[in-house]
Structure 1
């Protein structure tokens, strides 16, 4: 498997995990259980999880009223796009 495929796979899996983290936190919020900290969710977003976090916010309607989450989702999406660009254009097959 080429390096490009590995990096794209890792990026996809990470974003799926971040999406699941948002879903799990929403589930815990509904059940009044111990939550995932906002700091952790924001850090996951900025560490190449922008797509998963943005989808998690929309799909689970979670953290959508907090401006700093919206800002981090936007920054995370920009970071993800830059990483995708670098992977797809700078790495040879």
Structure 2
């Protein structure tokens, strides 16, 4: 088992959790209940949940126009894409 495959399960679980929290926040917003802080959602994205965050935004139509949240989430996704590209380039 290589290093990459060891990371897949934790990353999959983190992204599932991120999507769940976005959905939970959307439901809370609709119910006018206490919300999940944006800092919490962005932290989940930053630690590896950016694919789940972007997918959840699209699926649940949640926080799609919210600024500066949208810009920060995009920057996190760009950072992750850069890290993946750099790591992938070093593999070959």
TM-score norm. by structure 1 comes to 0.78
User: Are the structure 2 counterparts of residues 11 and 87 from structure 1 closer, same or farther at C-alpha, using a change threshold of 3 Å?
Assistant: farther
Superposition deviation, residue 26 in structure 1: 0.3
Q: Mind listing any 5+ residue stretches in structure 1 that lack a counterpart?
A: none
Partner of 2:33: 33
Q: Report if aligned partners of 1:15, 1:48 keep a CA contact under 8 Å in 2.
A: yes
**Superposed CA RMSD:** 2.2
Partner of 1:44: 44
Aligned residues between the structures: 92
Superposition deviation, residue 87 in structure 1: 5.6
Partner of 2:59: 59
Superposition deviation, residue 90 in structure 1: 4.7
Q: Mind listing any 5+ residue stretches in structure 2 that lack a counterpart?
A: none
TM-score norm. by structure 2 comes to 0.78
